[in-house]
Amino acid sequence: MYQVIEQTRSDLIVAITLKKNEMIELGMKYGLADKRTVNCSQQLDDLLNRHLVNNSLIHE
């Protein structure tokens, strides 16, 4: 069970890093208020929220 949680956590951290880099690129190319950048930012928020929930469940 612990190994599955760690794998999921690692996958989530990789996804967060990739999404953050994508958002930076979109922001630089299209601007921060562009729909593509905002959409990517919302996706990043979702990933970060999942990471926070996973961490709080681990530490309970």
Span 33-53, pLDDT tens digits: 999 999 999 999 999 999 998
Mean per-residue pLDDT of the chain: 88
8-state DSSP, 32? T
pLDDT at residue 57 is higher than 80: no
Give the integer Cα–Cα distance in Å for 55 and 33.
Answer: 31
pLDDT of residue 24: 98
Which residue would you say has higher pLDDT here, 25 or 6?
Answer: 25
Which residue is associated with the tokens 């970060």?
48
Greatest distance between any 2 Cα atoms in the chain: 43
Q: Name the residue ranges covered by the structural domains of the chain.
A: 1-11+32-60
pLDDT of residue 8: 82
pLDDT of residue 42: 98
Do 4 and 42 meet the contact criterion of CB atoms below 8 Å apart?
no
